[in-house]
Structure 1
Amino acid sequence: MVFHGKPSKACAECRQRRTKCDLSKPSCSQCIRANRTCPGYREGLIIHDESEALWAKFSSGTGQKKDGSPPRTVSLTRDAESTSFFSYSINDSRLDRDLEPKSWVSSLISTPAISAEDQATSFFFGNYVAGREMRDTCGNYQYLSAIYANQPVGIPLRQAIAAVGLAGLANFWKAPSIMAQANNAYCTALRLINTGLGNIEEAKSDQTVVAILLLGLYETNTTNGARSMKSWTEHILGATALIQLRGKKSLSSYLGRNIFVHLRNGVIASCVQRHSAVPKSIYELTKFAMQYETPVEKASTNLGLIVTEYTALRSSMSSLEDLKDLRNLVASLWDLDIKYLNWAQNLPPEMLVTPVPAPPASRGKEVWGEDYHLYNSIYIAGIWNNYRCARILNNELLRQQVSSLLHWGSPLNPHEMQTEQGAISYENILHIAISTISSLANDIFASVPFFLSTTTQDAPRALAGNLVLWPLYLAAKTTTATTNVQIWAAGRLGFIANTIGIRNAAPPYAGYAKEVELVGAEAGSGMEEAL
């Protein structure tokens, strides 16, 4: 008997269009919205006749496939210029840069006596490397398919991947012995990377930069609190230095751009959390890379450029001296909020959000509120939540500064601010900021089912869990969040920690043991520190 993988539960129309199916009966919401007939849902067990394939396998004495193509081989070779560096390559004439990772990962699963490294690699690709829906997008680990298809993969990268994979298995099975293996793989990767940094070409290589990013992911998944934040930041800063060495030349390739965008997103997030400005070199490389981007990628980049402005503004706040400076800060934050709003109103059609009424039985459980959101991919859903988080931070800071202005400047004169839209009172600005925060937080809550649903097409669970972890935490810590929604958010964080196995979700979840209080690694001790 051959296991072909768990078949999708989605209806045929949703599978063909690669959209999320909510499995409603008698017709799913996607089909109802598109005014088409829903064909219903197939059985979970599908029987395939493997007789012909089995006969062909045993009839061939040479191991050649029926189409005459050579069999796939994996070879282990020693680098001629180094006595301590090994690499392996995949030899298959049909492999190209668009290699689908699941095709070779599944072959690992079916091979007897699988090594721990291979099992960890399989786990990593199955949980972090997106499939077809995200193949043409930047900023996530899908570029690893191209590396494995086109380059001999060195030990540092292999060990970094194994470390993350083993950590995921250890968290899932709650197995300290596997976590010890993960730590050994992490230390091996770190030691080899540090050794390789002495060679400038090796230091600038794709695999070195990616391995460092993976070590940061390992820290996020295995530790919590200040240590996780500090270690992750160190890895991000290290990779940033290497990206600067690589320069603009590396951005002309698909792989180089993907690696850069992935790192850039981490740099921006780190700068937001540390209240520091994004380095000028990252800004310049970002502007240069835009000429190669798709409309969706440009939308993501434009959002990042607005956040870059926010980091510069936030880093300058230590120089505030009087009410005039405070008024100028409020005006700048207001202008940034207008830029965020304009960004959201001028997106390509494929980034539109589809609200769907939630089944009554799911409300307060998988879904918060009366509806949830559907997106074309978790990549697009992630961009939307990045926007919501960035704008929440901007409006929380705006709310704080306006409150201070009203308190320190009482009676305030002038009591209003001049904008391009006309004069607006500071009291009204405060009201708008609070209302905006509430609306954005509710939109994040509505996105959670899409990330955590088991029916989301081609969405690796750990990748989806990592993408929604920080937005969910932030939304639950806003000034407008109620106790009930915080309890619901804690339950979703518990699902991410216990079912998906991301340890960084555990501290916020555990914080509800006695009272409703989120305490997480990603934002210090709360929203005030996050700002």
Structure 2
Amino acid sequence: MVYGGKPSTGCYLCRKRKIKCDEARPSCRNCAVYRQPCPGYRPDAVFRNETRKIERLAKKDASSSSSSSSSSIASSSTPTSKTNTPTAQSPTLTETQARQPQESALTLQRVQDSTWEQRALCYFFDQYTITGEGEDGMGHLEYLPSLYARCGEVSPPGELSPSVCLRSAVNATALMTLANVAHAPPLMIKARQGYGKAIRSLRAALASPSQAVQDETFASVVLLSLFEDITGERNGLFSSHTAGFEFLMKLRGQDQLGHQQGRDMFNFAYTHTYVEILALGDKPRCDFDWVMDMLDENDPIESLMLAATKMSQLFLSMQAAPNPPDQTTVESWIAAGLECDSVLSQWTLHLPDRWLPLAVYSPQGEPLLTYNRISNAGVWGYYRAVRVMLQQLLLNLNRTLTSITQKNQQPGGDTIPVESKLDETSLRAVIQEMTTDTCRSLPFSLSDVDNLGRPTKPNDNSRPIRAAQAYGMLWPLWYILSCGMPTSTQAQQIRTVLARVGSSLGIKLALILASEAERMRGDSQPVGTPVVGS
């Protein structure tokens, strides 16, 4: 008997199902989700018999398993077959695997007591729910597993509860996530059926004043908006769920910010809404001035949200002003824009050291930026995109002011060259700096390099990028690509990243954004920037 190396530390049930275990004590999250008692964990010291007889038995068993795997799942028309169903192992597929036919993608691994729905849930929770760790506590949908575990299928007679809505939304989104990665049309059909059920139950929940404000209802809208982005089926680039977010944020009021779960939901919805205001030029349907007093200026994320809110107020005031504006109005806009830029510049000065990027070099000498965590890189991506938006706005305003000043010169007099109020060279330099830093961050953000810039191995799962982290990169990359300022090399790098996220992680919104950015690149008016002047 010899020591067999470091064994799996997951619970017995997760190891039996061959799915990733979060190893929580006293019971893991997967067992809670499936409402099964967690059987616990095996001792730290594990020995195995490595005699030749045992090795031959292991080889024979592996051969038998391989033989049984040759019968494709696609031969069964019922996606919930329990005999040849894939497990939740392999959280991401390579692009080569993702392009393989449905039968090949769905027969990578199987476990007898796992259904397609269970595998989809495990894959989805692994890819999209991230527990906040450390002082920053940045997670993603980390409240979802516990909410889902409490969802009951039984509702009062004649009434659909928010729990039913949330369960349907989670199941539908999980199935579509797996379907896109595995290229499995049968799962897509089941996912769309679940989406329709979730929409119907959501309408019923919103019609009830007591149910509309519950966390399950809000979380359902979060999941349905994610479903829309995974399928790439927005209305153009606008989400059909933005109005629902605005309605629920206003309805839930300040109480939602009183606990971490409500605050996490609010941050997701608020960011979702303001992306459309800043990047797409949409107008809010509700007044959110009350939110500014609730955001914490000392929190890196919420302070950035606060700066973006002030910037959006400038955008909205420009949209509401008479056209063409007078010189005094444009000068006031420029002053407000410079104030926003000063606030954003100060944002970087007050960050803890663990938030700051680290300048490193690849083995080939390429300058890169790495971070303490991938989630930090995502927040920096939003920061840089907002800075680019603001510089584009100031460029536009400066040109408008110059034009107005020239028109106001005395008729018939000599034309005197008008000096620009702003240094456009400095504004373009900031845009180029933000664009360059974004591109230098991409290898780390995609887990292609580690914190020191060293290439990661293809089979190294110590830091694999998860779908939630890639999802957070999309809108900043889209804006920087579509604004028309990146070099040809930088534009190609961003297009490659968007294509990679869309194909290997199954987030179809990435492919839509890449296509739309190319369509807009020739447009002289930056995306989302309000038009001023005539």
Q: Report the TM-score when normalising by structure 2.
A: 0.69
Amino acid at match of 2:232: T
Distance 1:438 1:304 in 2: 23
Cα distance change on mapping 1:175 and 1:351 into 2, 3 Å:
same
| Matched letter for residue 453 of structure 1 | S
Q: C-alpha distance in 2, partners of 1:204/1:91?
A: 32
- What does 1:384-463 align with in structure 2 at a 5 Å threshold? 384-410=380-406, 426=420, 428-453=422-447, 460-463=465-468
Q: Does 1:204 align with 2:204?
A: no
Match for residue 374 of structure 1 among 370, 377, 392 = 370
CA distance in 2, matches of 1:73, 1:144: 12
Deviations 1:128-182 (A, max 9, x none): 1114647963573122244346665833222212222222222223333322222
Residues 378 and 473 in structure 2, CA contact (< 8 A), matched pair in contact too: yes
TM superposition shift of 1:277: 5.9
Q: Output aligned runs, 1:433-512, within 5 Å.
A: 433-453=427-447, 460-509=465-514
State the one-letter code of the partner of 1:235: H
Task: Report the CA distance shift for 1:212/1:73 in structure 2 as closer, same or farther (over 3 A).
Answer: closer
* Structure 1 unmatched ranges of 5 or more: 1-45, 59-68, 76-86, 95-103, 364-369, 414-423, 512-516
Q: Which moved more, 1:315-324 or 1:343-352?
A: 315-324
2:527 aligned residue: 529
Are the equivalent residues in 1 in contact too, given 2:181–2:506 (CA < 8 A)? yes
Alpha-carbon contact 1:156-1:211 (below 8 Å) kept: yes
Shift of 1:530: 2.2
Whether the 8 Å CA contact 1:330–1:398 is kept in 2: the answer is yes
- Offset at 1:284? 2.3
Residue deviations 1:300-353 (CA, integer Å, cap 9, x gap):
111111111111111121314222222222222122111111112221222111
Q: Identify the residue that residue 334 of structure 2 maps to in structure 1.
A: 330
Closer/same/farther in 2, CA of residues 264 and 349 from structure 1, 3 Å limit: same
Give 3-state SS (helix, strand or coil) of 1:497's partner.
helix
Give the CA deviation at 1:281.
Answer: 5.6
Partner of 1:191: 200
Give CA-to-partner distance per residue, 1:193-246, whole Å, 9 cap, x none.
Answer: 11222332222111110111111111112125x61533x2x3132133223222
Between 425-434 and 464-473, the greater mean CA deviation after superposition: 425-434
| Contact 1:441–1:478 (CA under 8 A) maintained in structure 2 | no
Supply the AA of the counterpart residue of 2:302: T
1:77-88 matched pairs, under 5 angstroms: none
Look up the SS of the partner of 2:359 in the other structure. Answer: strand
2: CA distance, partners of 1:449 / 1:241: 38
- Matches of 1:381 and 1:121 in 2, distance apart? 27
- Aligned partner of 1:317 in structure 2 is 318
* 8 Å CA contact 1:129, 1:141 repeated in 2: yes
CA distance in 1, matches of 2:264, 2:362: 35
Structure 1 residues 239 and 459: alpha-carbon distance in aligned structure 2, compared to 1, 3 A threshold: farther
Larger radius of gyration: 2
Instruction: Look up the SS of the partner of 1:229 in the other structure.
Output: coil
Give the AA of the match of 1:213: V
Q: 1:198 to 1:412 in 2, by over 3 A?
A: closer
- Residues 124 and 381 (structure 1 numbering): CA distance in 2 closer, same or farther, change over 3 Å? same
1:339 and 2:339 equivalent? no
Note closer, same or farther for the CA distance 1:307–1:289 as it changes in structure 2 (3 Å cut).
closer
| Cα distance in 2 for residues equivalent to 1:88 and 1:356 | 44
Q: Which among 246, 252, 257 is matched to residue 251 of structure 1?
A: 257
Q: Give the direction of change, closer, same or farther, for the CA distance of 1:454–1:506 in structure 2 (3 Å limit).
A: same
Aligned counterparts of 1:72 and 1:509: Cα–Cα separation in 2? 36
Distance in 1 (alpha carbons) for counterparts of 2:390 and 2:310: 11
In the alignment, the residues of structure 1 paired with residue 352 and residue 112 of structure 2 have an alpha-carbon distance, to the nearest angstrom, of 47
Query: For the residues of structure 1 that align with 2:435 and 2:184, how far apart are their CA atoms?
Result: 36
Q: Partners of 1:279 and 1:509 in 2: how far apart?
A: 28
Contact map agreement 1:219 1:228 (CA 8 A) in 2: no
Does the 8 Å CA contact 2:478/2:514 hold for their aligned counterparts? Answer: no
Letter in 1 for 2:174: G
The answer for the alignment partner of 2:44 in structure 1 is: none
Q: 1:267 aligns with which of 268, 273, 281?
A: 273
Alignment partner, residue 223 of structure 1:
232
What is the distance in 2 between the residues matched to 1:74 and 1:273?
Answer: 41
Structure 2 counterpart SS, 1:372 = strand
Q: CA RMSD in A?
A: 3.9
Work out the percentage of aligned pairs sharing the same amino acid.
23
Amino acid at match of 1:430: E
Q: Distance in 2 between matches of 1:112 and 1:219?
A: 32
Q: Which moved more, 1:175-184 or 1:132-141?
A: 132-141
d(CA) in 2 for partners of 1:197, 1:524: 42
71 and 216 in structure 1: CA distance in 2 versus 1, 3 angstrom threshold: closer
Q: Alpha carbons of 1:343 and 1:393: their partners in 2 closer, same or farther (altered >3 Å)? A: same
Which segments of 5 or more consecutive residues in structure 2 lack a partner in the other structure?
17-25, 41-86, 92-108, 154-162, 410-417, 451-461, 530-534
CA contact (8 A) 2:304 2:347 kept: yes
Residue 308 of structure 2 corresponds to 307
Alignment check: 8 A CA contact 2:230 2:507 kept: yes
Contact (CA 8 Å) 1:138, 1:262: kept in 2 or not? no
Instruction: Look up the match of 1:100.
Output: none
1:236 to 222, 242, 249: 242
- Structure having the higher helix fraction is 1
Q: Deviation of residue 441 (structure 1)?
A: 0.9
